[in-house]
Amino acid sequence: MNIQDDMEWITCDSPVNIAVIKYWGKRDEKLILPLNSSVSITLNHEELRARTTVAISRNFNEDKMWLNGKEQSMKNARLQSVISQIKRLSRKRKTDCDQLDEKLQWKLHICSENNFPTAAGLASSAAGYACLVYALSKLYGINGDISKIARLGSGSACRSLYGGFVIWNKGESSDGEDSKAEQIAPETHWPELRILILVVSDQTKHTGSTVGMQTTVATSELLQQRLQTVPQKVDKIKQAILNKDFHSFAEITMKDSNQLHAVCLDTYPPVSYLNDTSHHIMQLVHAINEDNTSNMVAYSFDAGPNAFLFMQEKDVPTIINILRYFYPSSDPHFLRGLPVPEKDDYHVDYTTFIELKVVPRALKFVIYTKPGPEPSVKETDCGLLASDGLPKLHQ
């Protein structure tokens, strides 16, 4: 933490997480308690992350917040819930009450940015709230599990507080005390696993996740059938992860993604997050796996048209070449993220994919990444706020 001229501040990075067993629907809207447990993979910071600087000062006149360079309202109920819970925990653990009470009264400035499109179905709210809660916990000196607080901002944010492979246990208690995240295995457990993010659209999705979930819970009969099968799927995918069994992992992941979007279509009126390109990607993945006689790649779609493809590192060059063939692009920055490994023996017989059309410019770009660690504190020069507590972008 940095201290200077009656101002204290800290900067943190937090990762995106992608659910392979989806969270969809709440049993308590205020406490953000899910109807089912979910399992996710935390992605590497370098390719996708939220960065947040939080600062307090006796010289600030009011609480302020900026997101991606634009000032935001502080009246958001979830935001206020997170801040108040952090301060409550801080009061509970401190012994120097006079100094603590004074600093807890100081106004707060928050500045956050993502290095990826916001509100486009790339888990920006999860990364953002995880980053905020992590940064505030460091600023106010809080240790221990904070995933229950992150959950109050955005349900899936609790999973971004852990690296690698994570489960958010839905819990049974009405007060939400047992609804929290825990790590299944660190990112180093399955070093061969890789992820390609196919950005079909970087625009804000037409139906937000919160509204979509609420409508599904109120109207979908299929949702109730899904909830009966999720516990078994959670157990199976945990075992596949621990065994590094990619074939089983891929099948469970794709089936759960399909089921989520079937439930969305069963919502009344229906909610559709996928588009023609999304469906084309699904067909292509199944064609690749059929040609391979085993699962080489798996898809998963959250509340948006963008695809998350999982594969093993040895297969990345093959998959990328297939993507370049079916979704040709003249953009020199089409492929972003990690460097792609070389593969000399690459060959694909495209006559086996004869039923699939080539769709130029269907993808805006592709991000190549891998599982990554939990949030981290950054160096002083990475801060987003200047010494006066205002965003550096405004200087």
Average confidence (pLDDT) over 180-187: 98
The pLDDT confidence band at residue 228, using thresholds 50, 70 and 90, is very high
Average confidence (pLDDT) over 241-259: 98
Cα torsion 12, 368, 248, 357 to 10°: value is: 140
290-307 per-position pLDDT tens digit: 999 899 999 999 999 999
Whether residue 96 has pLDDT greater than 60 = no
Instruction: Report pLDDT for 98.
Output: 54
Q: Following DSSP, what letter does each residue of 160-218 receive, concatenated?
A: GGS-SEEEEE--S-TT-TT-EEEEEE-GGGSTTEEEEEEES--SPPSS-HHHHHHHHHH
* Domains in the chain, CATH or no CATH each: 2-187+374-394 (3.30.230.10), 193-369 (3.30.70.890)
Tokens of 394: 């405004």
What pTM did the predictor assign?
0.94
100-138 per-position pLDDT tens digit: 678 899 999 999 999 876 645 576 889 999 999 999 999
Whether residue 95 has pLDDT greater than 50 = yes
CA dist 185 → 199, 256, 367, 368 (Å): 27, 21, 23, 21
- Residue 108's nearest CA partner among 12, 13, 7 is 7
Instruction: Report pLDDT for 70.
Output: 93
Instruction: Report pLDDT for 221.
Output: 97
Whether residue 246 has pLDDT greater than 60 = yes
Q: How, if at all, do strands 365-369 and 193-199 pair? A: antiparallel
Q: How many residues in total does the chain contain? A: 395
Three-class DSSP labels, 103-121: HHHCEEEEEEEECCCCCCC
Residue position matching structure tokens 């990345």: 316
Q: Other C-beta atoms within 10 Å of 383: how many? A: 20
Instruction: Report pLDDT for 92.
Output: 82
Whether residue 205 has pLDDT greater than 80 = no
Whether residue 381 has pLDDT greater than 70 = yes
Whether residue 68 has pLDDT greater than 60 = yes
Rounded distance, CA 46 to CA 338, Å?
Answer: 9
Which range has the worst mean pLDDT, 65-74, 77-86, 206-215, 226-235? 206-215
Whether residue 394 has pLDDT greater than 90 = no
Instruction: Report pLDDT for 119.
Output: 47
Instruction: Report pLDDT for 348.
Output: 84
Whether residue 395 has pLDDT greater than 60 = no
Whether residue 149 has pLDDT greater than 60 = yes
Whether residue 207 has pLDDT greater than 90 = no
Whether residue 368 has pLDDT greater than 60 = yes
Instruction: Report pLDDT for 330.
Output: 95
Whether 324 contacts 362, CB under 8 Å: no
Side-chain half-sphere exposure of 294, counting CA atoms within 13 A: 8
- Residues in contact with 46: Cβ distance below 8 Å, sequence separation at least 6, in sequence order: 337, 338, 369, 372
Give strand pairing partners of 112. 52, 67
Average confidence (pLDDT) over 329-342: 92
Rounded distance, CA 392 to CA 395, Å?
Answer: 5
**pLDDT, mean over the chain:** 92
Rounded distance, CA 273 to CA 203, Å?
Answer: 12
Angle between helices 124-139 and 77-93 (to 10 degrees): 30
The pLDDT confidence band at residue 344, using thresholds 50, 70 and 90, is low
42-62 per-position pLDDT tens digit: 999 999 999 999 999 999 999
The pLDDT confidence band at residue 214, using thresholds 50, 70 and 90, is very high
Whether residue 41 has pLDDT greater than 60 = yes
Residue position matching structure tokens 């003249």: 330
- Among the residues of the chain, which ranges form H helices? 77-93, 97-105, 124-139, 147-153, 209-219, 222-243, 246-266, 276-292, 316-326
12-21 per-position pLDDT tens digit: 999 999 999 9
Average confidence (pLDDT) over 134-151: 95
Average confidence (pLDDT) over 168-189: 97
